[in-house]
Chains A and B, each alone.
Chain A
Amino acid sequence: MTAYLLIILPLVGAVVAAAWPDNRTRPWLLPVVGVGHALLCFWLLVFPPEVSTTAWLGFDPLARAVLPAVSLLYMVCAVYGVSYLKVRAERPNRVFVSVLLAVLGLLSAGHMSRHLGLLWIATEAVTLAAVPLLHFNGTPRAFEATWKYLLVGGTGIALSLLGSFCLGYASLHSGGTGDLTFATLMAQGAGLSRPWVLIAWVLLLVGYGTKMGLAPMHTWKPDAYGEAPGLVGAILAGGVTTVAFTAILRVRAVVSAAGEGGIADRTLLAIGLFSMLVAALFLLGTRDFKRMLAYSSVEHMGILSIGAALGGAGLWAALFHVWTNSLTKGALFLSAGNIRRAAGSASMDAVRGMTVLTPRSAAIFIAGMFAVTACPPFGPFFSELALVRAGFASGHGLAITLFLGCLLFAFFGITRVAFGIVDGRPRPAMRTEGRRFVETAGVILPPLALLGISVWLGLFTPPLLREVWQAAVTQLYPGS
């Protein structure tokens, strides 16, 4: 029952925030709920509850393996949110705070969904809830980004419903009674109608892949991440994409139980490599450092997808990568938000010399850049190393070679933009603008903390987490 509190607590927080009268004190609800959620989530990580196989919602091994990472990221972003909304005191934040809290509850529900239909409802609700967060800045560019997000994301979510219907219909063929929990679907196994399972897999991969931001369904991502506030970008890139990834993992397990695991893995590998390639090419061309983060997120979703295709050891590495990538991306988005605010622009044509204007944010941004491009000693290095090992061990030498090539190009692209904005002398106009932005502890410590956790995770991966990821692999690959 404690697990349901992970959903209820943020939703209650959202209602309280909507009723809270004072614009100045309302943001404090974010860290209160965020810390409560994280404490609860880590309590459940250490002392996992029993989950009955028929439960629609539950803190099962897969939820246990990824939800704490999302909760941790959210908590740090929530602390950052207080300082951020203080800087943006001119804008009313009732809707923003309330919706941001609701998103946490819906994310928890999505991670814990053990039922095909419930999973879809939670994902749909998160998609809709994120809309007011994206156009918080109220600029024409923000509305343009929101429109594209709704159009592409709405189509994706519609296709995933169609895919869910197809999977439901496949289960009726072997005398299914309409019980659409993943456990029942996996138990039906080979009884599922093969043609319908394959159609369902394609539709669900495209649908949830859109939400996750795999190429070529990633087109909403650069716009949305580029125009949304930094902390929204961090939560979208580290939390919402993770729900979609767990959805794909749960569906993949059903498809595999139906005897089509080989096809599922090949499509995941192909779409993962394609995402990395597209991301690497766009990273070499983009001139906007927030859009750069979006393409980097596309690249890392590709990495997750490849990991999921490489069997048990690869999936283990992918779950590890969910943690390291979410936390590192968080540090990058928050520091990039600071730089964007101080510089007044996100284009490297207009921004330079940020080491002078915002020395601390620039330092975190550069360190985060090395982290996200998988340089040691940061977490992503170790998770990607585990993935490369899993790839060679399972005989995917060519795919891993392509993977490493894409990483190299992405490194060139990201360093080009990152050093472009921190190096040199700031323009005279930026100096006056930049003075108004003060690097308080409230906007520096959160990204620094995320970066610290990323290093710690890589160097001293706790044995508990290793076991938890292994348990999730066992849930998704029964019998291996």
Chain B
Amino acid sequence: MNTNLNLLIGLAMGLNLIALGSSRLPSLIRAVSLQGMVLGVMPLLIEGVADWRLILVVVATVVGKGFVIPALLRRAMRAANIERELDPLIGFVPSLLLGAGGTIVAVAFASVLPLLPEHAGLLLVPGALASVLTGFILLIGRVKAISQVCGYLILENGIYLFGLLLIRSTPLLVEAGVLLDVTVGVFVIGIIVDRIQRAFDSLDTRKLTILRE
């Protein structure tokens, strides 16, 4: 069970790097949605047995992260008719190097933290830290609103990975994390598509600079 799970976590960490290196928006969205689906099936591997509540969480996560949010992002992309090429503040190679360095630091840092016996040998903690770091790099280093939302999604995926440590003891807290997806929904539907586009005729957050000292 642990080997399979670690394989999936490794895949998610690889997708972090792909997201950092993507130069086009559709491939960034694809990496994020694939990562969401990979994370979504993990609870099944951890628990082994499947009760209705677990299946509900798995289905909700896979559908939400893998299909609904990417579809919203693609719709936003089409509606706003933006250029597909990303235009980074932090270049792709530096972001990749930062991401890879961050992953190494995450693995090293996680090894000093005390883990419960049943979690020993799992990559959940380094995977979570690496994803949170990747999310931050994308949030800071990209200027298009949609790519910032993708960064936020990866950050959120990292938190979800960490939450898997607690899925047996406090399932409610972990399920509450679904609310973060709702936040993303509000981001995309409420703000980007309808508003920023109409008001600024662009989705480039660099144009959001009226308010400053």
Contact = CB atoms under 8 A, between A and B. Distances in A.
B148 interface: yes
Interface of A is mostly: helix
Contacts of A147: 145, 191, 196, 205, 208
Nearest to A199: B113
Contacts of A165: 159, 162-163, 165-166, 173-174
Contacts of A226: 211
B184 to A, nearest CB: 8
Contacts, number: 124
A49 interface: no
Q: Which of B128, B173, B210 has the most CB of A within 10 A?
A: B173
Q: Which of A146, A162, A195 has the most CB of B within 10 A?
A: A162
B186 A144 contact: no
Nearest to B128: A162
B101 interface: no
A180 interface: yes
B62 to A, nearest CB: 20
Contacts of A140: 199-200, 210
A117 to B, nearest CB: 4
A162 B132 contact: yes
Interface stretch (B26-34, B42-50, B90-98, B175-183): B175-183
B74 to A, nearest CB: 20
A121 interface: yes
Interface of B is mostly: helix
A172 interface: yes
Contact of B166 (A178, A286, A291): A178
A173 B115 CA distance: 8
Contacts of A127: 183
A143 B183 contact: no
Contacts of B183: 124, 127-128, 150, 154, 157-158
Contacts of B195: 135, 143, 146
A161 interface: yes
Interface string B132-149: 100000010000010010
Given A131-B190, A158-B156, A148 B211 contact: yes
A158 B155 contact: yes
A349 B211 CA distance: 15
Contacts of B179: 121, 124-125
Given A124-B179, A141-B211, A144-B208, A173 B116 contact: yes
Given A155-B152, A162-B162, A193-B114, A178 B211 contact: no
Given A145-B211, A151-B139, A222-B211, 17 more contacts: A117-B173, A139-B199, A141-B210, A144-B208, A144-B211, A148-B208, A151-B152, A155-B152, A157-B183, A162-B132, A164-B173, A169-B165, A178-B168, A195-B113, A226-B211, A227-B211, A291-B213
Interface of A: 116-117, 120-121, 124-125, 127-128, 131-132, 135, 139-141, 143-148, 150-151, 154-155, 157-158, 161-162, 164-166, 168-169, 172-173, 176-178, 180, 193, 195-196, 199, 222-223, 226-227, 282, 285-286, 291
